[in-house]
Amino acid sequence: MKFAIALYSAAHAPSSRRALLFAQAALAGGHEIVRMFFYQDGVYSASSNVVAPQDEPDIARQWREFVSQHQLDGVVCIAAALRRGVLNAEEATRYQRSAVNLEAPWALSGLGQLHDAIQDADRLICFGGP
State percent of the chain over pLDDT 90.
Answer: 98
Q: Which residues are catalytic?
A: 77
Q: Give the residue numbers spanning the domain of 37.
A: 2-127
Q: Please give the Cα distance from 30 to 118 (Å, whole number).
A: 19
Q: Is the pLDDT of residue 54 over 90?
A: yes
For residue 23, give the 3-state DSSP assignment: helix
Per-residue model confidence as pLDDT tens digits over 72-113: 999 999 999 999 999 999 999 999 999 999 999 999 999 999
Is the CA virtual torsion 43, 109, 102, 84 positive or negative? Answer: negative
Task: Give me the DSSP letters along 74-102.
Answer: EEEEHHHHHHTT---HHHHHHTT-S----
pLDDT at 129: 72
Question: What pTM value is reported for the model?
Answer: 0.94
What's 101's domain CATH number?
3.40.1260.10
Judge contact between 4 and 125, C-beta under 8 A. yes
Using pLDDT thresholds of 50, 70 and 90, give the confidence band for residue 130: low
Number of compact structural domains in the chain: 1
